[in-house]
Structure 1
Protein backbone atom coordinates (compact mmCIF):
# COMPACT_ATOMS: atom_id res chain seq x y z
CA UNK A 1 0.00 0.00 0.00
CA UNK A 2 1.15 3.52 -0.77
CA UNK A 3 2.48 5.21 2.31
CA UNK A 4 0.65 8.32 1.27
CA UNK A 5 -2.60 6.60 1.79
CA UNK A 6 -1.75 6.18 5.52
CA UNK A 7 -1.85 9.89 6.00
CA UNK A 8 -4.84 12.08 6.57
CA UNK A 9 -8.38 10.89 6.80
CA UNK A 10 -7.65 7.75 4.83
CA UNK A 11 -5.19 6.61 7.45
CA UNK A 12 -7.62 7.14 10.28
CA UNK A 13 -10.27 5.11 8.54
CA UNK A 14 -7.79 2.32 7.97
CA UNK A 15 -6.80 2.07 11.65
CA UNK A 16 -10.37 2.32 12.82
CA UNK A 17 -11.24 -0.64 10.61
CA UNK A 18 -8.28 -2.57 11.97
CA UNK A 19 -9.35 -1.81 15.54
CA UNK A 20 -12.97 -2.88 14.79
CA UNK A 21 -11.80 -6.23 13.40
CA UNK A 22 -9.54 -6.74 16.41
CA UNK A 23 -12.34 -5.96 18.85
CA UNK A 24 -14.69 -8.30 16.98
CA UNK A 25 -12.13 -11.10 17.17
CA UNK A 26 -11.67 -10.53 20.90
CA UNK A 27 -15.45 -10.58 21.41
CA UNK A 28 -15.73 -13.86 19.52
CA UNK A 29 -12.89 -15.37 21.53
CA UNK A 30 -14.51 -14.23 24.78
CA UNK A 31 -17.89 -15.68 23.75
CA UNK A 32 -16.34 -19.01 22.82
CA UNK A 33 -14.39 -19.10 26.06
CA UNK A 34 -17.54 -18.31 28.07
CA UNK A 35 -19.52 -20.99 26.20
CA UNK A 36 -16.84 -23.57 26.86
CA UNK A 37 -16.68 -22.57 30.47
CA UNK A 38 -20.50 -22.76 30.89
CA UNK A 39 -20.73 -26.08 29.03
CA UNK A 40 -18.07 -27.59 31.25
CA UNK A 41 -19.54 -26.36 34.50
CA UNK A 42 -23.08 -27.52 33.61
CA UNK A 43 -22.36 -31.23 33.94
CA UNK A 44 -20.25 -30.51 36.99
CA UNK A 45 -23.21 -28.81 38.68
CA UNK A 46 -25.47 -31.62 37.60
CA UNK A 47 -22.98 -34.13 38.89
CA UNK A 48 -22.69 -32.14 42.08
CA UNK A 49 -26.45 -32.13 42.42
CA UNK A 50 -26.55 -35.85 41.77
CA UNK A 51 -23.82 -36.41 44.29
CA UNK A 52 -25.66 -34.32 46.83
CA UNK A 53 -28.86 -36.23 46.16
CA UNK A 54 -27.14 -39.58 46.36
CA UNK A 55 -25.40 -38.52 49.55
CA UNK A 56 -28.73 -38.02 51.31
CA UNK A 57 -29.00 -40.87 53.86
CA UNK A 58 -31.82 -43.35 53.20
CA UNK A 59 -33.73 -45.01 56.03
CA UNK A 60 -32.12 -48.22 57.20
CA UNK A 61 -34.74 -51.04 57.09
CA UNK A 62 -32.97 -52.76 60.01
CA UNK A 63 -32.89 -49.63 62.14
CA UNK A 64 -36.06 -50.60 63.95
CA UNK A 65 -34.69 -54.04 64.75
CA UNK A 66 -31.40 -52.63 65.97
CA UNK A 67 -33.17 -50.07 68.10
CA UNK A 68 -35.39 -52.75 69.54
CA UNK A 69 -32.39 -54.95 70.26
CA UNK A 70 -30.70 -52.08 72.08
CA UNK A 71 -33.81 -51.55 74.16
CA UNK A 72 -34.39 -47.95 73.12
CA UNK A 73 -37.66 -48.60 71.28
CA UNK A 74 -40.91 -49.14 73.08
CA UNK A 75 -41.68 -52.86 72.95
CA UNK A 76 -44.96 -54.06 71.56
CA UNK A 77 -47.47 -54.80 74.28
CA UNK A 78 -47.72 -58.48 75.07
CA UNK A 79 -51.07 -60.04 75.77
CA UNK A 80 -51.67 -60.22 79.40
CA UNK A 81 -52.28 -63.77 80.75
CA UNK A 82 -54.70 -64.10 83.61
CA UNK A 83 -53.33 -66.67 86.05
CA UNK A 84 -55.59 -69.30 87.44
CA UNK A 85 -55.08 -67.84 90.86
CA UNK A 86 -52.66 -65.05 91.69
CA UNK A 87 -50.71 -65.07 94.95
CA UNK A 88 -52.23 -61.69 95.80
CA UNK A 89 -55.62 -63.41 96.03
CA UNK A 90 -54.44 -65.55 98.92
CA UNK A 91 -55.57 -64.48 102.38
CA UNK A 92 -52.97 -62.45 104.23
CA UNK A 93 -54.85 -62.35 107.52
CA UNK A 94 -56.79 -65.11 109.29
CA UNK A 95 -60.47 -65.16 108.51
CA UNK A 96 -60.28 -63.97 104.91
CA UNK A 97 -61.89 -66.06 102.13
CA UNK A 98 -59.80 -69.04 101.04
CA UNK A 99 -58.05 -69.00 97.69
CA UNK A 100 -59.06 -71.89 95.46
CA UNK A 101 -55.46 -72.98 94.90
CA UNK A 102 -55.13 -73.47 98.67
CA UNK A 103 -58.09 -75.88 98.87
CA UNK A 104 -58.07 -79.63 98.29
CA UNK A 105 -61.46 -81.21 97.62
CA UNK A 106 -61.90 -84.98 97.72
CA UNK A 107 -64.62 -87.62 97.69
CA UNK A 108 -64.61 -91.02 99.34
CA UNK A 109 -67.07 -93.87 98.97
CA UNK A 110 -69.03 -95.27 96.07
CA UNK A 111 -65.88 -96.51 94.36
CA UNK A 112 -67.09 -99.34 92.11
CA UNK A 113 -69.47 -100.48 94.85
CA UNK A 114 -72.72 -102.30 94.33
CA UNK A 115 -75.80 -101.33 96.33
CA UNK A 116 -78.60 -103.86 96.24
CA UNK A 117 -81.73 -104.67 98.22
CA UNK A 118 -82.59 -101.04 98.80
CA UNK A 119 -79.26 -100.16 100.50
CA UNK A 120 -78.27 -96.52 100.22
CA UNK A 121 -75.00 -95.24 98.79
CA UNK A 122 -72.90 -93.32 101.33
CA UNK A 123 -70.17 -90.78 100.62
CA UNK A 124 -67.61 -88.78 102.56
CA UNK A 125 -66.54 -85.33 101.35
CA UNK A 126 -63.45 -83.60 102.72
CA UNK A 127 -62.11 -80.08 102.18
CA UNK A 128 -58.62 -79.17 103.38
CA UNK A 129 -56.99 -75.75 103.63
CA UNK A 130 -53.33 -75.89 102.63
CA UNK A 131 -52.80 -72.12 102.86
CA UNK A 132 -50.58 -70.37 105.40
CA UNK A 133 -53.40 -69.02 107.59
CA UNK A 134 -56.91 -69.89 108.65
CA UNK A 135 -59.45 -68.93 106.01
CA UNK A 136 -63.19 -69.17 105.41
CA UNK A 137 -65.13 -71.06 102.75
CA UNK A 138 -68.78 -71.45 101.86
CA UNK A 139 -69.61 -75.17 102.11
CA UNK A 140 -73.38 -74.76 101.71
CA UNK A 141 -75.34 -76.98 99.30
CA UNK A 142 -75.16 -74.38 96.52
CA UNK A 143 -71.47 -73.50 96.80
CA UNK A 144 -70.34 -77.09 97.42
CA UNK A 145 -72.54 -79.12 95.10
CA UNK A 146 -72.67 -82.91 95.31
CA UNK A 147 -74.04 -84.26 92.05
CA UNK A 148 -75.03 -87.76 90.91
CA UNK A 149 -75.34 -88.51 87.22
CA UNK A 150 -75.92 -91.48 84.95
CA UNK A 151 -74.43 -90.83 81.54
CA UNK A 152 -75.77 -87.44 80.41
CA UNK A 153 -78.73 -87.69 82.81
CA UNK A 154 -78.53 -85.48 85.89
CA UNK A 155 -80.07 -87.64 88.62
CA UNK A 156 -79.61 -85.79 91.89
CA UNK A 157 -77.95 -82.61 93.27
CA UNK A 158 -77.68 -80.87 96.62
CA UNK A 159 -78.40 -77.56 94.87
CA UNK A 160 -81.97 -78.65 94.02
CA UNK A 161 -84.79 -77.40 96.28
CA UNK A 162 -82.53 -75.63 98.78
CA UNK A 163 -84.38 -73.77 101.51
CA UNK A 164 -83.08 -70.40 102.64
CA UNK A 165 -79.87 -68.89 101.28
CA UNK A 166 -78.10 -72.23 101.01
CA UNK A 167 -74.94 -70.63 102.37
CA UNK A 168 -72.82 -72.12 105.14
CA UNK A 169 -69.49 -70.42 105.88
CA UNK A 170 -66.91 -72.47 107.76
CA UNK A 171 -63.52 -71.57 109.20
CA UNK A 172 -60.83 -73.84 107.82
CA UNK A 173 -57.68 -74.18 109.90
CA UNK A 174 -54.53 -75.08 108.03
CA UNK A 175 -54.33 -78.83 107.55
CA UNK A 176 -57.54 -79.60 109.46
CA UNK A 177 -60.10 -81.17 107.07
CA UNK A 178 -63.72 -80.16 106.94
CA UNK A 179 -65.76 -83.37 106.62
CA UNK A 180 -69.29 -83.89 105.37
CA UNK A 181 -71.04 -87.25 105.07
CA UNK A 182 -73.85 -87.96 102.64
CA UNK A 183 -76.32 -90.79 102.28
CA UNK A 184 -78.39 -90.83 99.12
CA UNK A 185 -81.97 -92.12 99.38
CA UNK A 186 -81.87 -93.39 95.77
CA UNK A 187 -84.43 -90.82 94.63
CA UNK A 188 -84.10 -88.29 91.85
CA UNK A 189 -84.16 -84.55 92.49
CA UNK A 190 -85.30 -81.70 90.26
CA UNK A 191 -85.35 -77.94 90.27
CA UNK A 192 -89.16 -77.82 90.36
CA UNK A 193 -89.15 -79.48 93.83
CA UNK A 194 -91.68 -82.18 93.16
CA UNK A 195 -93.17 -83.56 96.37
CA UNK A 196 -92.87 -87.20 95.33
CA UNK A 197 -89.58 -87.66 93.42
CA UNK A 198 -89.07 -90.78 91.36
CA UNK A 199 -86.86 -93.62 92.52
CA UNK A 200 -83.66 -94.06 90.55
CA UNK A 201 -83.55 -97.12 88.32
CA UNK A 202 -80.94 -99.84 88.58
CA UNK A 203 -77.78 -98.95 86.70
CA UNK A 204 -74.37 -97.31 86.93
CA UNK A 205 -74.00 -93.90 88.54
CA UNK A 206 -71.23 -91.34 89.01
CA UNK A 207 -70.78 -88.98 91.97
CA UNK A 208 -68.72 -85.75 91.85
CA UNK A 209 -68.30 -82.76 94.14
CA UNK A 210 -68.01 -79.27 92.65
CA UNK A 211 -66.90 -76.11 94.38
CA UNK A 212 -66.22 -73.17 92.12
CA UNK A 213 -63.53 -74.39 89.74
CA UNK A 214 -62.61 -77.27 92.02
CA UNK A 215 -63.64 -80.79 91.10
CA UNK A 216 -63.26 -83.96 93.15
CA UNK A 217 -62.39 -87.34 91.75
CA UNK A 218 -65.31 -89.37 90.43
CA UNK A 219 -67.01 -92.04 92.48
CA UNK A 220 -68.61 -94.81 90.38
CA UNK A 221 -71.20 -97.14 91.92
CA UNK A 222 -74.01 -99.44 90.83
CA UNK A 223 -77.61 -99.81 91.93
CA UNK A 224 -79.26 -103.21 91.85
Structure 2
Protein backbone atom coordinates (compact mmCIF):
# COMPACT_ATOMS: atom_id res chain seq x y z
CA UNK A 1 0.00 0.00 0.00
CA UNK A 2 1.21 3.43 -0.83
CA UNK A 3 2.34 5.25 2.26
CA UNK A 4 0.61 8.27 0.96
CA UNK A 5 -2.73 6.61 1.24
CA UNK A 6 -2.35 6.63 5.04
CA UNK A 7 -1.96 10.34 5.08
CA UNK A 8 -4.76 12.81 5.48
CA UNK A 9 -8.35 11.70 5.79
CA UNK A 10 -7.59 8.24 4.41
CA UNK A 11 -5.04 7.61 7.14
CA UNK A 12 -7.44 8.56 9.88
CA UNK A 13 -10.03 6.12 8.57
CA UNK A 14 -7.46 3.38 8.36
CA UNK A 15 -6.37 3.73 11.99
CA UNK A 16 -9.90 3.99 13.23
CA UNK A 17 -10.68 0.69 11.50
CA UNK A 18 -7.61 -0.89 13.02
CA UNK A 19 -8.63 0.32 16.52
CA UNK A 20 -12.20 -0.96 16.04
CA UNK A 21 -10.91 -4.41 15.12
CA UNK A 22 -8.58 -4.41 18.09
CA UNK A 23 -11.35 -3.38 20.48
CA UNK A 24 -13.63 -6.07 19.03
CA UNK A 25 -10.94 -8.69 19.56
CA UNK A 26 -10.43 -7.55 23.16
CA UNK A 27 -14.17 -7.68 23.78
CA UNK A 28 -14.37 -11.21 22.38
CA UNK A 29 -11.42 -12.30 24.50
CA UNK A 30 -13.00 -10.76 27.58
CA UNK A 31 -16.33 -12.43 26.87
CA UNK A 32 -14.66 -15.80 26.34
CA UNK A 33 -12.66 -15.39 29.53
CA UNK A 34 -15.75 -14.43 31.49
CA UNK A 35 -17.69 -17.36 30.02
CA UNK A 36 -14.91 -19.77 30.94
CA UNK A 37 -14.64 -18.43 34.43
CA UNK A 38 -18.37 -18.36 35.00
CA UNK A 39 -18.82 -21.66 33.24
CA UNK A 40 -16.35 -23.32 35.59
CA UNK A 41 -18.21 -22.12 38.61
CA UNK A 42 -21.60 -22.48 36.97
CA UNK A 43 -21.70 -26.27 36.94
CA UNK A 44 -20.41 -26.32 40.47
CA UNK A 45 -23.14 -23.95 41.54
CA UNK A 46 -25.67 -25.87 39.56
CA UNK A 47 -24.37 -29.09 41.04
CA UNK A 48 -24.42 -27.56 44.48
CA UNK A 49 -27.91 -26.23 43.88
CA UNK A 50 -29.02 -29.62 42.63
CA UNK A 51 -27.41 -31.65 45.38
CA UNK A 52 -28.13 -29.32 48.32
CA UNK A 53 -31.90 -29.94 48.38
CA UNK A 54 -31.46 -33.70 48.24
CA UNK A 55 -28.45 -33.83 50.55
CA UNK A 56 -29.37 -35.02 54.05
CA UNK A 57 -27.77 -32.97 56.83
CA UNK A 58 -25.53 -34.87 59.19
CA UNK A 59 -27.50 -35.74 62.33
CA UNK A 60 -25.95 -36.66 65.63
CA UNK A 61 -27.02 -40.27 66.49
CA UNK A 62 -27.66 -39.29 70.10
CA UNK A 63 -29.97 -36.45 69.05
CA UNK A 64 -31.72 -38.79 66.67
CA UNK A 65 -32.21 -41.32 69.45
CA UNK A 66 -33.53 -38.69 71.84
CA UNK A 67 -35.89 -37.40 69.17
CA UNK A 68 -37.18 -40.92 68.55
CA UNK A 69 -37.59 -41.50 72.28
CA UNK A 70 -39.46 -38.22 72.68
CA UNK A 71 -41.75 -39.09 69.80
CA UNK A 72 -42.39 -42.46 71.34
CA UNK A 73 -43.14 -40.90 74.71
CA UNK A 74 -45.45 -38.33 73.23
CA UNK A 75 -47.40 -40.90 71.25
CA UNK A 76 -50.74 -41.78 72.83
CA UNK A 77 -50.77 -44.93 74.92
CA UNK A 78 -53.70 -46.99 76.17
CA UNK A 79 -55.15 -45.63 79.37
CA UNK A 80 -54.76 -48.22 82.17
CA UNK A 81 -57.92 -49.31 83.87
CA UNK A 82 -57.83 -47.99 87.44
CA UNK A 83 -58.12 -50.54 90.20
CA UNK A 84 -60.94 -50.16 92.74
CA UNK A 85 -58.44 -49.11 95.40
CA UNK A 86 -56.95 -46.38 93.22
CA UNK A 87 -60.41 -45.20 92.19
CA UNK A 88 -61.71 -45.03 95.75
CA UNK A 89 -58.57 -43.20 96.87
CA UNK A 90 -58.97 -40.65 94.08
CA UNK A 91 -62.65 -39.96 94.79
CA UNK A 92 -63.63 -37.62 97.62
CA UNK A 93 -64.89 -39.31 100.77
CA UNK A 94 -68.20 -38.37 102.36
CA UNK A 95 -68.96 -38.58 106.09
CA UNK A 96 -70.92 -41.67 107.10
CA UNK A 97 -69.63 -43.95 104.34
CA UNK A 98 -68.30 -47.40 105.30
CA UNK A 99 -64.73 -47.26 106.54
CA UNK A 100 -62.00 -48.35 104.15
CA UNK A 101 -59.89 -51.20 105.52
CA UNK A 102 -56.72 -49.20 104.88
CA UNK A 103 -58.00 -46.39 107.13
CA UNK A 104 -58.50 -48.60 110.21
CA UNK A 105 -55.91 -49.47 112.84
CA UNK A 106 -56.77 -52.42 115.09
CA UNK A 107 -54.93 -53.22 118.32
CA UNK A 108 -55.26 -55.34 121.43
CA UNK A 109 -54.05 -54.45 124.93
CA UNK A 110 -53.81 -56.81 127.88
CA UNK A 111 -52.72 -60.39 128.13
CA UNK A 112 -49.16 -59.71 126.97
CA UNK A 113 -46.87 -62.08 128.86
CA UNK A 114 -49.16 -61.91 131.85
CA UNK A 115 -49.63 -64.78 134.28
CA UNK A 116 -53.09 -65.34 135.71
CA UNK A 117 -53.33 -67.32 138.87
CA UNK A 118 -56.00 -69.97 139.37
CA UNK A 119 -59.46 -68.40 139.20
CA UNK A 120 -58.24 -65.03 137.82
CA UNK A 121 -59.93 -64.00 134.60
CA UNK A 122 -57.88 -62.51 131.75
CA UNK A 123 -59.07 -59.09 130.61
CA UNK A 124 -58.48 -57.44 127.24
CA UNK A 125 -59.03 -54.08 125.66
CA UNK A 126 -59.68 -53.78 121.91
CA UNK A 127 -58.98 -50.45 120.22
CA UNK A 128 -60.08 -49.42 116.72
CA UNK A 129 -59.02 -46.06 115.23
CA UNK A 130 -60.16 -44.38 112.02
CA UNK A 131 -57.26 -42.64 110.29
CA UNK A 132 -59.32 -41.62 107.23
CA UNK A 133 -60.12 -38.03 106.27
CA UNK A 134 -63.72 -38.04 107.50
CA UNK A 135 -66.05 -39.87 109.85
CA UNK A 136 -66.93 -43.38 108.67
CA UNK A 137 -69.05 -46.30 109.87
CA UNK A 138 -68.13 -49.91 110.59
CA UNK A 139 -69.53 -53.01 112.25
CA UNK A 140 -67.97 -53.75 115.65
CA UNK A 141 -70.35 -56.56 116.61
CA UNK A 142 -68.97 -59.81 118.09
CA UNK A 143 -68.99 -61.53 114.70
CA UNK A 144 -67.44 -58.69 112.70
CA UNK A 145 -64.86 -57.86 115.39
CA UNK A 146 -63.91 -61.29 116.68
CA UNK A 147 -61.65 -61.76 119.68
CA UNK A 148 -60.13 -65.23 119.45
CA UNK A 149 -58.07 -67.19 121.97
CA UNK A 150 -55.97 -70.13 120.84
CA UNK A 151 -53.42 -72.53 122.28
CA UNK A 152 -51.19 -73.85 119.54
CA UNK A 153 -53.51 -75.08 116.78
CA UNK A 154 -56.43 -75.47 119.22
CA UNK A 155 -59.15 -72.84 118.97
CA UNK A 156 -60.18 -72.28 122.59
CA UNK A 157 -62.62 -69.40 122.65
CA UNK A 158 -64.20 -66.78 120.32
CA UNK A 159 -66.69 -63.96 120.68
CA UNK A 160 -68.28 -65.14 117.43
CA UNK A 161 -69.52 -68.37 119.06
CA UNK A 162 -73.13 -68.57 120.27
CA UNK A 163 -74.04 -64.96 119.49
CA UNK A 164 -77.66 -64.18 120.22
CA UNK A 165 -79.71 -61.64 118.29
CA UNK A 166 -78.51 -59.80 115.20
CA UNK A 167 -74.89 -59.82 116.27
CA UNK A 168 -74.01 -56.60 114.41
CA UNK A 169 -73.29 -53.20 115.91
CA UNK A 170 -72.67 -50.26 113.57
CA UNK A 171 -70.51 -47.52 115.03
CA UNK A 172 -69.53 -44.08 113.78
CA UNK A 173 -65.79 -43.59 113.96
CA UNK A 174 -64.58 -40.02 114.03
CA UNK A 175 -61.13 -39.40 112.64
CA UNK A 176 -58.50 -40.08 115.32
CA UNK A 177 -61.04 -40.89 118.06
CA UNK A 178 -60.54 -44.53 119.17
CA UNK A 179 -63.36 -46.95 119.69
CA UNK A 180 -62.57 -49.05 122.77
CA UNK A 181 -64.12 -52.31 123.89
CA UNK A 182 -63.15 -54.09 127.11
CA UNK A 183 -63.93 -57.76 127.62
CA UNK A 184 -63.22 -60.51 130.10
CA UNK A 185 -62.67 -64.23 129.48
CA UNK A 186 -64.21 -66.59 131.95
CA UNK A 187 -61.56 -69.27 131.21
CA UNK A 188 -64.08 -71.58 129.56
CA UNK A 189 -63.91 -72.98 126.08
CA UNK A 190 -66.51 -72.04 123.50
CA UNK A 191 -67.79 -73.83 120.42
CA UNK A 192 -70.05 -73.20 117.49
CA UNK A 193 -72.58 -75.81 118.71
CA UNK A 194 -73.21 -73.81 121.93
CA UNK A 195 -72.84 -76.58 124.49
CA UNK A 196 -74.69 -76.09 127.73
CA UNK A 197 -71.70 -76.87 129.92
CA UNK A 198 -68.47 -75.66 128.27
CA UNK A 199 -65.22 -77.16 129.48
CA UNK A 200 -62.76 -75.16 131.55
CA UNK A 201 -59.51 -74.18 129.88
CA UNK A 202 -56.45 -75.97 131.23
CA UNK A 203 -53.38 -74.23 132.63
CA UNK A 204 -50.92 -73.30 129.92
CA UNK A 205 -49.91 -70.64 127.40
CA UNK A 206 -52.54 -68.89 125.29
CA UNK A 207 -52.61 -66.34 122.49
CA UNK A 208 -55.29 -63.68 122.02
CA UNK A 209 -55.86 -61.86 118.70
CA UNK A 210 -58.58 -59.68 117.19
CA UNK A 211 -59.87 -60.45 113.67
CA UNK A 212 -61.84 -57.89 111.69
CA UNK A 213 -62.17 -58.77 108.04
CA UNK A 214 -58.66 -58.55 106.60
CA UNK A 215 -57.35 -56.81 109.72
CA UNK A 216 -55.40 -58.63 112.40
CA UNK A 217 -54.21 -57.21 115.69
CA UNK A 218 -50.80 -58.02 117.18
CA UNK A 219 -50.76 -61.17 119.28
CA UNK A 220 -51.19 -61.05 123.05
CA UNK A 221 -49.52 -63.99 124.82
CA UNK A 222 -50.55 -64.86 128.39
CA UNK A 223 -50.41 -67.79 130.79
CA UNK A 224 -52.99 -69.54 132.95
CA UNK A 225 -52.11 -71.33 136.17
Q: Give CA-to-partner distance per residue, 1:142-184, whole Å, 9 cap, x none.
A: 1101000000000000111111221100000111100000100
Is 2:72 the partner of 1:70? Answer: yes
Q: Which runs of 5+ in 2 are unaligned?
A: 1-67
Q: Which runs of 5+ in 1 are unaligned?
A: 1-65
* CA distance in structure 2 between the partners assigned to 1:81 and 1:174 by the alignment: 27
Does the CA contact (< 8 Å) of 1:91 and 1:99 recur in 2?
no
**Considering only aligned residues, what root-mean-square deviation do their CA atoms show, in Å?**
2.5
Does the CA contact (< 8 Å) of 1:91 and 1:135 recur in 2?
no
* CA distance in structure 2 between the partners assigned to 1:166 and 1:208 by the alignment: 19
* CA distance in structure 2 between the partners assigned to 1:76 and 1:131 by the alignment: 32
* CA distance in structure 2 between the partners assigned to 1:211 and 1:87 by the alignment: 23
| Alignment correspondent of 1:106 | 107
* CA distance in structure 2 between the partners assigned to 1:106 and 1:86 by the alignment: 26
List, as ranges, runs of 4+ consecutive aligned residues in structure 1 with deviation greater than 3 Å: 69-78, 80-83
| Alignment correspondent of 1:127 | 128
Match of 1:101, SS?
Answer: helix
* CA distance in structure 1 between the partners assigned to 2:92 and 2:78 by the alignment: 34
| TM-score, length of structure 2 as denominator length | 0.63
* CA distance in structure 1 between the partners assigned to 2:166 and 2:140 by the alignment: 12
| Alignment correspondent of 1:196 | 197
Q: How does 1:73-92 map to 2 (within 5 A)?
A: 85-86=85-86, 88=88, 92=93
| TM-score, length of structure 1 as denominator length | 0.63
Distance of aligned partners of 1:162 and 1:86 in 2 relative to their CA distance in 1, 3 Å threshold:
farther
- Once the 2 structures are TM-superposed, how far is the Cα of residue 91 of structure 1 from its aligned partner? 6.8
Q: How does 1:1-224 map to 2 (within 5 A)?
A: 70=72, 85-86=85-86, 88=88, 92-224=93-225
